[in-house]
Amino acid sequence: MTPKPIGPIPPEFAGLDALPWLDAATPAYVYDFAIVAARIARLRAALPGQVAVHYAIKANPLPALLERIAPLVDGLDVASAGELDKALGVMAASAVSFAGPGKRDFELEAAIAAGATLNLESEGEAARALAIGERLGVTPRLAVRVNPDFELRGSGMKMGGRASPFGVDVARVPRLVQQICASGADWQGFHIFSGSQSLDTEAIIQTQAATIALAETLAEQAGWMPPRVNLGGGFGIPYFAGDTPIDVEAIGAALGTAIHASFLTLTKVEWAIELGRWLVGEAGVYLARVIDRKESQGETFLVVDGGLNHHLAATGNFGTVVRRNYPVALAHRMQAPAEEVVNIVGPLCTPLDRLADRVALPRAEVGDVVAIFASGAYGASASPSAFLGHPPVHEILQS
Ligand SMILES: *Cc1c(COP(=O)(O)O)cnc(C)c1O
């Protein structure tokens, strides 16, 4: 049977004969913090010095991980009161910003009382935030999230250039900024996020330039200079066969040129980018143990002790149109030659629970551990762990 391709194993793991976590209780996510720290250091070296680095915690909100990341970044971006609580435990409120549609009053209140910045998604939300600030006697820190009139090309999840629950349409932004400033609120500037999971370096460069130009136009139209401009992120990581990494050094160099040319730089604007996946995604490995080997109609199935309930994305059910294979290997025989073509399925009673489809691997026996790479972002917290009532996944932070 012809195997289907798998995605590229991240370079930090690709040369190993075996993963160091063979004795870990499964099913488990293991996150290698040294890889995260190296990512942050590489990003810092690539970016112009005046660009703040934020971590978008929805990519991986594990508290132990947040605690280690917080001292290495300049800010945390959150998208719910639950994430806000976690962020405030490890970061000063002035470095926490809260985006996301449908913020309820208790969420607005929590952010305003703490002194976190709200990235406003609509005029209605702005009015509620101002009223809550008045009631609390606290000056709210308010940024306006813009629904940009362009989108990040090559982006897995597009968030601009169309009708959107996210952000305020460009044409209405200047007036909203004027209202916020007139109200006496502490206007924090713009938040412009135009997509996620782009592997197109040139598209990221162009989008950043367009984002700076948009911030300039909006500032001029509003007649107020933004204290901060959050340029979004969208840096993707390779998941599937043929995917190649982005060139962060080229992005940083181009951003430096664009920032240098912007009149906003003269106004001492604080630039920021916010990344989730690129910082943590390749640092995580999902480990599941083979419970059963079975044959059916000429195909071999490795049934493992976790699947869609822990790792929805690897089964192709989280924002992908066509199901493709994540990078996968046998954890104790990474370099061994392939001997058979197998399907790796989880224990759930649904055909959606397939972690790998017709992949070529060395022979695996019951008790062996299968590793799914590129699993550090949108894994445990983005999967339906209650579905079918299996035990929760272990999450282990290493190094
Ligand atoms: C999800 C999200 C991010 C993080 O996206 P990644 O693809 O994980 O980098 C950043 N900013 C906003 C507003 C988001 O919604």
Model pLDDT, residue 144:
98
Model pLDDT, residue 160:
67
Distance 243 CA to ligand 1 centre (A): 20
Has residue 161 got a pLDDT over 90? Answer: no
Q: Are residues 178 and 215 in contact, defined by beta-carbon separation less than 8 angstroms?
A: no
Model pLDDT, residue 154:
74
Q: Is the CB of 130 under 6 A from ligand 1?
A: no
Percentage of the chain exceeding pLDDT 90: 95
Q: What is the value of pTM for the model shown?
A: 0.96
What value does the mean pLDDT take over residues 314-341? 95
User: What distances in angstroms separate CA 29 from CA 25, 232, 307, 366, one per listed residue?
Assistant: 10, 27, 12, 20
Pocket test of ligand 1: the residue of 96, 152, 193 to mutate, having most ligand atoms within 8 Å of its CB, is: 193
Q: Is the CB of 128 under 6 A from ligand 1?
A: no
Tens of pLDDT, residue by residue over 292-313, are 999 999 999 999 999 999 999 9
Model pLDDT, residue 133:
98
Which of 292, 283, 285, 256 has its CA nearest to residue 271? 256
Model pLDDT, residue 159:
63
What value does the mean pLDDT take over residues 255-274? 96
Model pLDDT, residue 394:
98
How far is residue 36's CA from residue 42's CA, in Å, rounded to a whole number?
A: 10
Question: In this structure, what are the phi and psi dihedrals at residue 97, rounded to the nearest 5 degrees?
Answer: -125, 150
Q: Is the CB of 373 under 6 A from ligand 1?
A: no
Tens of pLDDT, residue by residue over 165-222, are 999 999 999 999 999 999 999 999 999 999 999 999 999 999 999 999 999 999 999 9
How far is residue 206's CA from residue 150's CA, in Å, rounded to a whole number?
A: 11
Which of 146, 333, 137 has its CA nearest to residue 222? 146
Q: Is the CB of 276 under 6 A from ligand 1?
A: yes
Residue 145 CA: nearest ligand 1 atom is 13
Pocket test of ligand 1: the residue of 69, 77, 145 to mutate, having most ligand atoms within 8 Å of its CB, is: 77
The residue ranking higher by pLDDT, 265 or 7, is 7
Question: In this structure, what are the phi and psi dihedrals at residue 59, rounded to the nearest 5 degrees?
Answer: -65, -40
Strands 369-372 and 328-330, sheet pairing: antiparallel
Residue 281 CA: nearest ligand 1 atom is 8
Q: Is the CB of 56 under 6 A from ligand 1?
A: yes
Model pLDDT, residue 284:
98
Distance 131 CA to ligand 1 centre (A): 28
Q: Is the CB of 230 under 6 A from ligand 1?
A: no
The separation between CA 175 and the C-alpha centre of its own chain, rounded to angstroms, equals 31
Model pLDDT, residue 321:
83
Distance 278 CA to ligand 1 centre (A): 10
Q: Please state, rounded to an integer, the average pLDDT across all residues of the chain.
A: 96
Q: Is the CB of 125 under 6 A from ligand 1?
A: no
Distance 96 CA to ligand 1 centre (A): 14
- Say yes or no: do domains 11-29+281-398 and 61-275 share a fold: no
If 0-12 CB within 10 Å is exposed, 13-18 middle and 19+ buried, where does residue 35 land?
A: buried
Tens of pLDDT, residue by residue over 43-58, are 999 999 999 999 999 9
User: How long is the chain?
Assistant: 399
Model pLDDT, residue 1:
82
Pocket test of ligand 1: the residue of 54, 58, 197, 378 to mutate, having most ligand atoms within 8 Å of its CB, is: 58
Has residue 35 got a pLDDT over 70? Answer: yes
Model pLDDT, residue 157:
63
Model pLDDT, residue 198:
96
User: What distances in angstroms separate CA 363 from CA 96, 164, 287, 366, one per listed residue?
Assistant: 48, 48, 17, 10
Q: Are residues 120 and 126 in contact, defined by beta-carbon separation less than 8 angstroms?
A: yes
Distance 13 CA to ligand 1 centre (A): 25
Q: CATH assignment of 61-275, given 3.20.20.10, 3.30.70.20, 3.20.20.70, 3.30.2350.10?
A: 3.20.20.10
How far is residue 308's CA from residue 383's CA, in Å, rounded to a whole number?
A: 7
Distance 272 CA to ligand 1 centre (A): 13
Has residue 162 got a pLDDT over 90? Answer: no
Tens of pLDDT, residue by residue over 84-96, are 999 999 999 999 9
Model pLDDT, residue 214:
98
What value does the mean pLDDT take over residues 367-384? 98
Tens of pLDDT, residue by residue over 60-107, are 999 999 999 999 999 999 999 999 999 999 999 999 999 999 999 999
Has residue 158 got a pLDDT over 70? Answer: no
What value does the mean pLDDT take over residues 278-284? 98
Question: In this structure, what are the phi and psi dihedrals at residue 13, rounded to the nearest 5 degrees?
Answer: -115, -20
Residue nearest to atom 5 of ligand 1 (CA): 276
What value does the mean pLDDT take over residues 264-273? 94
Model pLDDT, residue 320:
84
Domain boundaries, the chain: 11-29+281-398, 61-275
Print burial letters for 45-58: b (CB count within 10 Å at least 16), e (below 16). ebbeeebbbbbbbb
Which CATH architecture group holds 11-29+281-398? Beta Barrel (2.40)
Assigned token pair, 282? 């390749």
Which of 217, 78, 200 has its CA nearest to residue 148? 217
How far is residue 186's CA from residue 188's CA, in Å, rounded to a whole number?
A: 6
Model pLDDT, residue 348:
97
Assigned token pair, 78? 């959150």
DSSP 186-208: EEEEEEE--EEEE--HHHHHHHH
What value does the mean pLDDT take over residues 334-353? 97
Q: Are residues 31 and 280 in contact, defined by beta-carbon separation less than 8 angstroms?
A: yes
Model pLDDT, residue 347:
98
